[in-house]
Amino acid sequence: MIYKRGQTYWYKFNWSIRQRDGTSRSFLVRRSARTRVANEAEEVEQEHRRAIRLGEVHPLDPWPKPPAPEAPLLREFTNRFLEYARLHVKESSFEFYAGAVARLLNCPDLANAQISKINPELVARFARTRKTVGVGVSAINGDLRTLRRLLRLAFEWEIIPRAPVVHALPGERTRDRVISFEEEQKYLASSGPNLRALTVLAVDTGMRPKSELFRLEWPQVHLEGSEMMPNGYVNVKAGKTQSAERVLPLTPRARETLLILRMEPRRKRWVFPGPGNSGHLGYAWPVDPLGLR
């Protein structure tokens, strides 16, 4: 209902909310409509009821809702981002972020945009500008990944209601490289027995180090040859994914490596035992806890 107090209309109504325990709680909502016109006061009351019904505000919240603070410009927020990065990433990653931020700020349209209003068009304009001066796709995508991380951080801090979409450019070259036979031999020659065995099995079988090789048990190893697998095989029971269970044939080199390992008395259950609670070798492959490098 609306009523007049002095020259201004007010409204009041009761609203009940069901609590999580199943009980109901009632609230008396009384506000000034801030108008001298009855019809306008009724519209204010109906809008307030609608907002409560949709869960936009609580009956005890102020109404009208105070305007949300404007999101900062990108050039303003980057200082907070770099302060956060300095504390939470390693030095080399921070230097990468700092360089990427400097390049992002070199684009005036992007630097002077509110972070909540950064859209694919602005991002594409930045990428196009960089590409026209001969910058490669990989370098541009590095800057775009930094922008994406920055915007997601603003979302996590509740500075913006959602993180704008930032798509990477297609055609990026990866850094994957297959080592040569000579490089492999040089690496094996400089490795100790344990690391050499791990390397041979990883190369010849394709097993993943952390989830498969380190957890390899002798019952999974079959060194008896057959017509289909003359050097034996390894039965991988579990791994990184649900479809990781598979049978891997051994090469002559891998079989010889496993035969040598099986002769060592300390390798009872695990092919690569370790000092931790699990009993097998841990994640840090380059560091041999058994001192066999």
Q: What is the pLDDT of residue 279?
A: 85
Radius of gyration, CA atoms only, the chain:
32
Check if the beta carbon of residue 211 is closer than 8 Å to that of residue 202.
Answer: no
State the distance between the two ends of the chain, measured CA to CA, in whole angstroms. 84
**What are the helix (H) ranges across the chain?**
38-53, 74-88, 91-105, 108-111, 120-132, 137-156, 181-189, 193-205, 252-262
Q: How confident is the model at residue 242 (pLDDT cuts 50, 70, 90)?
A: low
What pTM was estimated for this model as a whole?
0.48
| Cα-based angle 191, 192, 196 (whole degrees, multiple of 5) | 65
Q: How confident is the model at residue 290 (pLDDT cuts 50, 70, 90)?
A: very low
Domain ranges of the chain: 2-53, 74-156, 181-262
* pLDDT digit string, tens, across residues 150-172: 999 999 998 998 888 899 899 88
pLDDT > 70 in the chain, percent: 93
Class for the domain spanning 74-156: mainly alpha
Name the strand (E) or helix (H) holding 59: none
Tokens for 112?
A: 């002077």
Spatial distance between the Cα atoms of 218 and 268, rounded to a whole number of angstroms = 8
* pLDDT digit string, tens, across residues 36-92: 999 999 999 999 999 999 988 999 998 888 776 788 999 999 999 999 999 998 888
Region 118-122 average pLDDT:
92
